Chain A
Amino acid sequence: MNTTNSLTDWTKAAKDSRLDEESLRLRRLIVRTLQCGKRGHGPTALSVIDILRVLYNDIMKFNPKEPRWEKRDRFILSKGHGCIAQYVMLAEKSFISHKELWKFCSHGALLGGHPEHTIPGVEFSTGSLGHGFPVAVGFALNAKIDKASHRIFTIIGDGESGEGSIWEAALYASKHKLSNLTVIVDYNKQLTYSTTFEVLDLEPLADKWKSFGFAVQQVNGHDIAQLKETFSKLPFEQNKPNCIIAHTVKGKGIPMLEGNFGWHHKSSIPEEDFAKLYESLGGWNEKDCS
């Protein structure tokens, strides 16, 4: 895959991408969390989980014993509704216990339907779209002022890209030459109602980010090797903020959810649905979180 690939090529690559056992296991944890909460934004978590897997396993510096360690890389999930994926990675990395996942959205739980800064490992509360990215720009500007070497990563949604504040913040990231900042666009091409093409077309998306002064790379957001390789090349250019357009599939890994607009957010999910959700993932295994 390279920059000459068409949108159709990228979309097909994401759709055809085969998931390895680790990606399936992380998806089972997402489904288990949904099952315990009986609700949640499942498909968007499945869309970003492979990106988060690579960021947490291979790219970002952090210390779960000291979540506010000064030299940590900062991460903001600007599209906060994908939080179950982040919660799973926070549990995998021992910021929180897996037991917290099983209390998802219950009264008095640590983990709710959008990530809060009170959770160890969460830098900033998101949920209302268009907020996380400007704050990440502030983090990156601060690192530049302080001549600090840590990096800032944020994931925004394609639906979220309709918010003006995203493009305002992009102008500032470019103005201040924030090469320590990487914005990843989770480009699954689905909003709640329908596709981006029908609701609000973002194309030509890569050209838009380039014209805002970003160094842009595109990637199959479910291809672990490709994600690692792309992140390893950061910064893509000197004195430019980085944009990675990650082509993804909303609901990736569960055929019943892929392309299903009825599943953006579900509440009161019937228990019998979960057998179907686990089916393509190999079924729940108690060892998945051991």
Chain B
Amino acid sequence: MRKIVLDMVYELAKKDKRIVYIGSDLGAGLLDNFKKEMPDRFFMEGVSEQALIGMSAGLALEGKIVYFNTIATFITRRCFEQVVLDLCLHHANVRLIANGGGVVYAPLGPTHLAMDDIGILRTIPNMTIIAPCDADEMKRLMPQTVNYQGPIYIRLAKGGDPIISSDKHECTIGKAIVIKEYNTPDALLIGTGITTKLCIDAAEQLDKENIKTTILHVHTIKPLDKEAIIKHAKKAKSVIVIEEHTTINGLGSAVAEVLMNAGINVKFKKIGFPDVFPEGYGSQAQLMEKYNITADECIRTIKESRC
């Protein structure tokens, strides 16, 4: 997904002179083609996220569309106030390409685990947050980021993630995708990013037991597609949200707010990281399994909700 997103920035920049790429000390050779062909719009800068967000805002306020790229935690935690004031307050057209959303960097420990990024950003007015489920979906969403108004946080998964998205679903920023639908489902399963794959895996198992599950893929966490959530939650006996994020203020919390405000009385469960710093290193999958962010947990929760 990281390669795709950068390839897309390069392709989009070739067509649109407003596009500028700014990286913060990323891998050697990265986007060499961009640097060679459009040197005046390629900037590989140092390790100074606060100033770089400000500089990106300055470029954006003058008409550029800036794709700023670094590790997720350094975008959300290190320079939070710059994101709030320089970008969101000014509706600056800066796209924050966040490497290692969730626990992609599991082996690197807590400094690199972005299991709180959505929660941090969701409270800021004017911020848009997207978390594509695979590289194909990223390809569909990236062209939409060019003329979109205001800052966008683009949460990247690890890369090499199985392709589950399809052309048959319309993919628009701000609109959730119904992957599977029943008129009277036993459960509504909601995922974002790579957890939508877990929803699909769980639903396949549940089908075999004649437990009907509607799946909603929320690639845009903010602005949230409230209409789709309400429509499908009203039909379901339970709603389960699974995310690679703390259960505090992530997608699960956003969905819960929608349900409560709409007066929908339904069994509800969030699956995500508990209120701890995840421990244990290993791989992304191992860390998610340790904290029960799995298809099996979806199945167990749905079955339990039917009792």
Contact = CB atoms under 8 A, between A and B. Distances in A.
A108 interface: no
B58 A134 contact: yes
Contacts, number: 91
Interface string B116-140: 0000000000000000000000000
Contacts of A125: 85, 89-90
A133 B81 CA distance: 15
A136 B51 contact: no
A137 interface: yes
Interface residues of B, number: 27
Given A134-B54, A135-B54, A141 B59 contact: yes
A137 B54 contact: yes
Interface stretch (A91-99, A165-173, A211-219): A165-173
Interface in B190-248: none
A153 to B, nearest CB: 13
Contact of B50 (A130, A142, A143): A130
A134 B57 CA distance: 9
A172 B55 contact: yes
Interface string B244-266: 00000000000000000000000
A104 B282 CA distance: 58
Contacts of A139: 58-59, 61-62
A146 to B, nearest CB: 8
A270 B85 CA distance: 33
Interface in A111-167: 117, 123-125, 128, 130-131, 133-143, 145-146, 164-165
A188 B259 CA distance: 55
B56 interface: yes
A136 B57 CA distance: 9
A141 B54 CA distance: 12
A131 B85 contact: yes
Contacts of B46: 171
A131 B58 contact: no
B81 A128 contact: yes
Contact of A128 (B62, B85, B90): B85
Contact of A135 (B45, B58, B81): B58
A173 to B, nearest CB: 9
B89 to A, nearest CB: 6
Contact of B59 (A130, A142, A168): A142
Contact of A145 (B40, B53, B85, B86): B40
A138 B85 contact: no
B64 interface: yes
B58 A137 contact: yes
A142 B43 CA distance: 12
Contact of A169 (B20, B40, B54): B54
Specify which of B40, B58, B85 lies most central, judged by the most chain A CB atoms within 10 Å of its CB: B58
A172 B50 CA distance: 12
B63 interface: yes
A128 B85 CA distance: 9
Interface of B: 20, 40-41, 45-46, 48, 50-64, 81-82, 85-86, 89-90
28 contacts: A117-B90, A124-B58, A125-B89, A134-B51, A134-B52, A134-B55, A134-B58, A134-B82, A135-B57, A135-B61, A137-B51, A137-B54, A137-B58, A138-B54, A138-B55, A138-B56, A139-B58, A139-B61, A139-B62, A141-B58, A142-B58, A142-B62, A142-B64, A165-B48, A165-B51, A165-B54, A169-B55, A172-B52
A-B complex: 7 closest residue pairs judged by Cβ atoms: A138-B58, A134-B54, A168-B51, A168-B48, A142-B62, A138-B55, A165-B50
